[in-house]
Amino acid sequence: DQQVKQNSPSLSVQEGRISILNCDYTNSMFDYFLWYKKYPAEGPTFLISISSIKDKNEDGRFTVFLNKSAKHLSLHIVPSQPGDSAVYFCAASAYQGGSEKLVFGKGTKLTVNP
């Protein structure tokens, strides 16, 4: 059973417009969320995170929104740039069973067209 779901395998956006990547989770114990970006032939790199005590965190062009009641988070990129084209992974973490659990989604491939 997938605890972290990224239901859109791919997304295509025009340069300069907003990209919105979505992520849903099922485990209410998750209380910290992270987004990673992955270019081909490279490992994922950390992008931005948010704690469950917040509903928004912003870093430059990147903003993450968290809706705890809906168990939903989203990553907004504005304005989108061609260099943002990559696979974006959502991850959720929690203390569970005496240890930290980190669960990743399958990823969404973002293509930003010039």
Provide the binding-site residues for other proteins, judged by CB under 8 A. Answer: 2, 4, 31-32, 34, 36, 41-46, 49, 51, 89, 93-95, 99-107
In whole angstroms, how close is the CB of 105 to other proteins at the nearest point?
6
Cβ distance to other proteins smaller for residue 65 or 104: 104
Of 62, 80, 61, residue with least CA distance to 17: 80
Give Cα separations from 32 to 15, 69, 104 (angstroms).
30, 15, 12
Q: Burial level of 57, CB count in 10 A (0-12/13-18/19+)?
A: middle
Cβ distance to other proteins smaller for residue 15 or 48: 48
Cβ distance to other proteins smaller for residue 48 or 79: 48
